[in-house]
Amino acid sequence: MPPDYHTHTPLCHHAEGLPRDYAEAAKRLGLPELGLSDHSPMREYFDDWRMGWEDFPRYLEMVDEARAEFPDLPIRLGLEVDFLEGGEAWIEELSTKANFDYLIGSVHYLAPGWDVDNPKHLSKFAECGVEEVWSRYFEVYEKMIRSRLFDFVGHPDLPKKFGHRPEGDLRRFYEPVVQALADTGTAYEINTAGLRKDAQELYPAVGFVELAFEAGVPLLINSDAHKPEEVGANFAEAMAVARGVGYEGSVWFEGRKGRVVGF
């Protein structure tokens, strides 16, 4: 099995379990590595589902505690970082605050105060139209990739979380993003959390994975675990999809350098 690099901690206010609990779950499953990647702080208060800047030292401590308790399990340090247009300087500064193994780039916000995966804003899909929501999301997602600030990018088709998909061939959304991944040499993840949401589908859909493989884009397989029992969840399904389109391995990270390891 590949490592699981997309996991969270209670510091983000919507996850359960300490890093040591995630490490224990990874050991039990036989994962070769584990990565912690909680939602990154902003310079100042931004929303209620990420760690505050004052919590960041504790985050580093918790990762170190897990490493000390499980010395034979490589535990990688990461963050899931929101890409906000105009916020690139903060991301660059944040990347210097610790010896990170990777940074995950994610798009949640389509406008100030509108995080597309938040059930509080479900009415936006009706107000704006599903086509417009997807168009805006993938436009920002491409900009995130082309910023070259991240080691890999997360849940590429997140707007389908609640089951909203535009009509027709969705490759019109995928193709510019896959091209950006290929142009910048950026990896993406198959994120199994979509199977636990209303979407009932991996992030991203198989059609995206097919295009990415054809373009030579590397991938990771991650759970986006928000509780220890979700570590490694549905990896067999994700690996079957990856193998089915031709992938033979995934990217492992250390010190912000990736290498492909077979699975």
Instruction: Determine how many CB atoms are found less than 10 A away from the CB of residue 165.
Output: 16
Indicate the range of 110-114, 146-150, 255-259 predicted with least confidence.
110-114
The pair phi, psi for residue 173, each rounded to 5°, is -90, -40
What are the structure tokens assigned to 110, written together?
A: 């389509």
Assign 16 a pLDDT band (cuts: 50, 70, 90).
Answer: very high
Residue 260 pairs with which residues in a beta bridge?
A: 251
In 3-state terms, what secondary structure has residue 262? strand
Under a CB-based contact definition with an 8 Å cutoff, are residues 49 and 12 in contact? Answer: yes
Q: What is the pLDDT of residues 214-244, one digit of tens each?
A: 999 999 999 999 999 999 999 999 999 999 9
Quote the percentage of the chain above a pLDDT of 90: 99
Quote the percentage of the chain above a pLDDT of 70: 100
pLDDT the model gives residue 186: 98
Q: What is the pLDDT of residues 74-133, one digit of tens each?
A: 999 999 999 999 999 999 999 999 999 999 999 999 999 999 999 999 999 999 999 999
* Mean pLDDT (whole number) for 50-68: 97
Give the residue from 247, 226, 257, 178 showing the smallest Cα distance to 2: 247
Domains assigned to the chain: 10-262 (3.20.20.140)
Q: How high does pLDDT run on average in the chain?
A: 97
Report pTM: 0.97
Q: What is the pLDDT of residues 89-98, one digit of tens each?
A: 999 999 999 9
pLDDT the model gives residue 259: 98
Question: What secondary structure does DSSP assign to 181-224, as a single string?
Answer: HHHHT-EEEEEGGGGGSTT-S-BS-HHHHHHHHHTT--EEEE--
pLDDT the model gives residue 241: 98
pLDDT the model gives residue 221: 98
The CA dihedral of 221, 249, 72, 227, to the nearest 10 degrees, is: 10
* Mean pLDDT (whole number) for 139-168: 98
* Mean pLDDT (whole number) for 175-196: 98
* Mean pLDDT (whole number) for 40-53: 94
What are the structure tokens assigned to 140, written together?
A: 């920002």
pLDDT the model gives residue 228: 98
Buried-exposed string 47-64: b where 16+ CB fall within 10 A, e elsewhere: eeebbeeebbeebeebbe
Q: Is 41 left (phi over 0), alpha (psi -120 to 50) or beta?
A: beta
